[in-house]
Chain A
């Protein structure tokens, strides 16, 4: 627990695993997936009691590759700063499971998979998903891994929503839920940003009503634009100012005869957008942003979050970031207040950061202390229970 987080060892080379879940998965929309494939990674060893499992829940654009490096790859997983030996989510103490969820596009069943009924790719016809469907599919993976109860379920953003949903749907299968930069439901502004992103994708002529794969096309420009919009909302004004200011990449604003200018921030955003559209599937983006919009933790509990959380049995750690305006600290306070009113054990901390929503992925000493301190206590308790 020090500022040396980044110098700590990486878990090193990791391998992706996959499993065909042959049990039917009944989705919230009524559609039944007779079977589905999940790709996942694990870090650390499962103990003899099979009690030290931690489930990582990814967010909108995340995948199963949370930590370490794939053979021949120079880029580590998306949560490398926090997952690994001696890190806050410590692979020396826990058996960490990171799964790519259905509907996504990194190998698990989703719009790019073949629909067994038609023999064609699902594309835009992939059934609508809810966070509970991810939870149910994760539960089937848990069964496959022969784990009865997670020591902790951890997630940021949409990942935190899954952790909360788990605590209500399967209160006996989770001891701790760590809910980071999340919310019990999206605000109108948040839904608005998601709709702008979807509209950008659908406006691309190559979208072909969601059937672009069948036609050998891809709405790359639309998806890039969607990501650019999203990316801006994940950063803070302050951070963008520090990072780019009004620096020019090309051209000169003093010499009026010079070639057109390009701001650094334009170049950065275009690069981020293009990089994303090369690696993500547009139908998945639409599907998962809708899942975010539809999420409402307490809808089925008379819209009463206190009533909802009274079904949970686990301990909670809730974390927010001061400059996060997409999932603002107020949203995390609402979670915390509901837990308090429901007499549930909860700790809450608002981490000072200028990194916006993305802060949950980035190094920060206080964040690391809170998360690492919390989990090392969980590990100590597990050992106590084993003695």
Chain B
């Protein structure tokens, strides 16, 4: 996770206003505050994470993303970030629309279900993949939408979303070397920097 923060950090402008959807303990916002002097807010519903944010000096708002973001005005943020949570949203495409309405730009990271390891798990074991990134059983997983790098690219095309940057991430050899050739097969985590065309 710390690695994708690196990319994210590069795409955030100094002194900008950042909204982090599902901010966890606020580590990313804290890093951006220290590095880029941003005005950051995180949305979170987990009580423990909220307490951690507050104690860490990160602005956190208790709000359920699935209940909408209508309280945020159009273009009220420079960047809206969502790390590893899109797959847990009830309607990911609508969340994406909302992110691009509220922010001039948005940054999304998600686990690529097209990763060869995940494919192999389903193919050979015949069971829904339980991996380090998707560490739940099918019946108790918060990740209710599984999608791939290629699926996300298609969604961006359909919804007229401009991909400013994309980064692919993988942990091991040979994935690291091959992910640029076959991103859908060798990317474990995809990181997108988007704006509305």
Contacts and interface: CB of A to CB of B under 8 A. Distances in A.
B39 A343 contact: yes
A369 B59 contact: no
Contact of B61 (A346, A352, A366, A373): A346
Nearest to A343: B39
Interface string A340-359: 11010111111010000000
B61 A370 contact: no
A347 B53 contact: yes
B8 to A, nearest CB: 21
A340 B61 contact: yes
Contacts of A350: 62
B54 A347 contact: yes
Contacts of A337: 71
Contact of A370 (B17, B51, B73): B51
B146 interface: no
Contacts of A340: 41, 61, 71-72, 76
A350 B67 CA distance: 15
B59 A341 contact: no
A345 B72 CA distance: 15
B60 A341 contact: no
B144 to A, nearest CB: 24
B132 to A, nearest CB: 30
B24 to A, nearest CB: 14
Interface string A177-198: 0000000000000000000000
Interface in B107-150: none
Contact of A349 (B41, B50, B76): B50
B155 interface: no
Looking at chain A's contact residues, is the secondary structure mostly helix, strand, loop, or mixed?
Answer: helix
Interface string B48-87: 0011111111111111000000011100100000000000
Nearest to B44: A349
A272 interface: no
Candidate in B17, B52, B59 with the most chain A CB atoms within 10 angstroms: B59
Nearest to B53: A347
Given A340-B41, A341-B73, A341-B76, A370 B54 contact: yes
Nearest to A351: B47
A336 to B, nearest CB: 6
A349 B73 contact: no
Contact of B62 (A348, A374, A377): A348
A376 interface: yes
Contacts of A381: 57
Nearest to A380: B57
Nearest to A368: B51
A352 B54 CA distance: 17
A70 interface: no
A161 interface: no
Nearest to A333: B71
Nearest to A377: B57
Contacts of A373: 51-52, 54-55
Contact of B47 (A345, A366, A376): A366
B84 to A, nearest CB: 22
A201 interface: no
Interface in A53-86: none
Given A348-B61, A377-B55, 14 more contacts: A317-B54, A337-B71, A340-B41, A341-B73, A341-B76, A345-B59, A346-B59, A347-B53, A349-B60, A352-B47, A373-B51, A373-B52, A373-B55, A381-B57
22 contacts: A317-B54, A333-B71, A340-B41, A340-B71, A340-B72, A340-B76, A341-B76, A343-B39, A346-B41, A346-B61, A347-B50, A347-B58, A347-B60, A349-B54, A349-B60, A349-B62, A366-B47, A373-B51, A373-B55, A374-B54, A377-B56, A377-B57
Interface of A: 317, 333, 336-337, 340-341, 343, 345-350, 352, 366, 369-370, 373-374, 376-377, 381
The 3 closest A-B pairs by CB, nearest first: A373-B55, A369-B51, A349-B62
